A and B are shown apart, each in its own frame.
Chain A
Amino acid sequence: MNLLVCISKTPDTTARIAFKDDFTKFDEGGVQFIMNPFDEFYSLVRAIELKEKFGGTVTVLNVGEPANDIVIRKALAIGADKAVRINTSPTSAFAVAKQIAEYAKDKSFDIIFFGKETIDYNGGEVSGMVAAMLDLPFVNLASHLEVDGTTAKLNRDIEGGVEKVEVEMPFIVSTAKGMAEQRIPNMRGIMMAKRKPLEVVEPVDKEDRVEILKYELPKAKSGVKLVDPDNIDELVRLLHEEAKVI
């Protein structure tokens, strides 16, 4: 199977988020970057599992700058065979999708994987954009994926249940919790990753359809009101009269 896994670089989940230039830019100072958890835990691991079962190649693709190579090497250490980095800064979902579609259009991938969203901009749009650009079937929010011949059977977690779908390859999938379990790279994987190919591709023309004007931090809570554990009726009174939530 010829599998493509698109990965993003995001701030670590524990990162404190700050902004600079009058709240118009994300302040990367002191921020540790990681592979987007949904891309790593679900997409990448499931793609590697399918390769282990059926044979084939797992290619990881990142749209980003040279500093992203450390994240790409981790994907190779976990078990991807080769990597491609499209050498441009990922300024918006549409800009990224256009680069991915341009790269993937003539490579005959059987499945193109995305995480359900990135944990920084929480868009979840790139997968659908690439599906529309390449006119390929799209399965979003998949929590389970099995391949049988040229057909894939997937589960989607939907409100109030699980939707079961079938699709012929090639197709595009965005993955969610349940798809696979996290894999920690071992020393052998890390050593081998250094010798695996990482191809740098120059971008096609950029197109942004949105622009971030400014950021805002959530308003700080005015301070917690503590209630004595021996006077719980007071908490009920506050929730009813003051907060008006019961």
Chain B
Amino acid sequence: MKILVYIDNRKNKIKKTDQELVYYAHLIAQKHGGSVDAFVLGSGEGAEVLGKYGADNVYAVAHDETFDANGISSAVKNFAEDKGADLVIVPFNSSGKPLVGMLSYMLDASSVTGVLNVPEVEESKLVFKKGVFSGKAFAYIKTLKDKVVVSLMTNSFSPEEVGSEVNVEAVNIPVDNKVKVVGIDKVEGKVPLPEAERIVSGGRGMKGPENWGVLLDLAKALDAETACSRPVADVGWRPHSEHVGQTGIVVRPNLYVALGISGAIQHLAGVSSSKVIVVINKDPEAPFFKAADYGVVGDLFEVAPKLTEAINKFKGK
């Protein structure tokens, strides 16, 4: 099987999510036989490292930031055909999400978004697992075409070093932009919630935006990102970009700490794939406790500062 991994390297930086994509491709090649080509959109600076995570070849296409999803999909399509790729893997983020549907049609391929597993083979077709019903269930999906395009859910595999660096080969691929990218307003310093390893999240129990200090302190102690429940975003205590849940952002961090969130089914759907959930709530009947690994029944305004202090003490701060 020839596997092609699309890496968005437009910021000239290889991220952990990029290592994860290549390592995932490596696991598939290891299980079913095959080779892994990394197709890097960008200068290719630093992309040699992808060899360590399992890429047999790394190709970089000369770039500028004005590539849009239409241009990227045409470039990936041309390259995938050139290399005879059977399986194309893209990231499940704002760069990869638009590509899957387009590439499915352009490559005459089956497609699955947000896959979670190294696929099994059934009657010579790949079978992928993905989350459905916004985190309330999983489905096993058989791809019926010979060619397949998938996006990998972020934080599904921990990348490991399995090889050594490889040379980056520059390639020239025609692109067909259809949308003009005028510019990007950057928000510095924040890790996107889907990529976050630790998240501290607040609900209506926080009682008001003026009380967020205790949450921010805890997040800082844990080196965590901050999030909130839908009612909190709806009343404007926190920005919509922090809304985690079925109609907001679905997250899967290693640690999710919920302060004053009762745990409505829509919220649970967005966080249930977290590895460890800690719930702090004064209501012992809060449904969130049933979905939690650890719980503290108590007033969050007393418990959260104590937890912050205990973590700082543990970390020797």
Contact = CB atoms under 8 A, between A and B. Distances in A.
B189 to A, nearest CB: 9
A141 B297 CA distance: 39
Interface string B179-201: 11111111110101011001000
Interface in A136-177: 136-141, 153, 156-167, 171, 174, 177
Interface stretch (B34-42, B126-134, B157-165, B206-214): B126-134
Contact of A161 (B114, B184, B254, B290): B184
A170 B310 CA distance: 57
A192 interface: no
A212 B307 CA distance: 44
B159 to A, nearest CB: 18
B100 A128 contact: yes
A contacts with B: majority SS: mixed
| Top 7 A-B residue pairs of the complex, sorted by shortest distance between their CB atoms | A128-B101, A229-B298, A140-B98, A137-B178, A125-B101, A132-B105, A159-B192
Interface in B50-109: 68-70, 73, 93-95, 97-106, 109
B220 interface: no
A184 interface: no
B106 A132 contact: yes
A13 B266 contact: yes
The bracket for how many chain A residues form the interface is: 35 or more
Interface of A: 11, 13-14, 16-17, 19, 37-38, 93-94, 97, 119-133, 136-141, 153, 156-167, 171, 174, 177-178, 208-218, 221, 224-229, 232-233, 235-236, 238-240, 243, 245-246
Contacts of A212: 139-142
Contacts of A160: 186-188, 190, 192
B178 A167 contact: yes
B262 interface: no
A125 B100 contact: yes
B contacts with A: majority SS: mixed
A138 B294 contact: no
Given A177-B240, A178-B240, A236-B307, A165 B181 contact: yes
B101 to A, nearest CB: 3
Contact of B142 (A171, A210, A243): A210
B285 interface: no
Nearest to A36: B247
A139 B180 CA distance: 10
Q: Which of B178, B222, B279 has the most CB of A within 10 A?
A: B178
Contacts of A164: 181-185
B43 interface: no
Contact of B137 (A157, A178, A218): A218
Nearest to B277: A221
A131 B68 CA distance: 14
Contacts of B295: 224-227
Contact of B241 (A157, A236, A245): A157
B23 interface: no
Contacts of B144: 208-211
Contacts of A17: 133, 136-137
A130 B97 CA distance: 15
Contacts of B166: none
B175 interface: no
Nearest to B299: A229
B106 A162 contact: no
A211 B142 contact: yes
A147 to B, nearest CB: 15
B6 interface: no
Contact of B102 (A13, A129, A153): A129
A160 B193 CA distance: 10
Nearest to B265: A14
Nearest to B106: A132
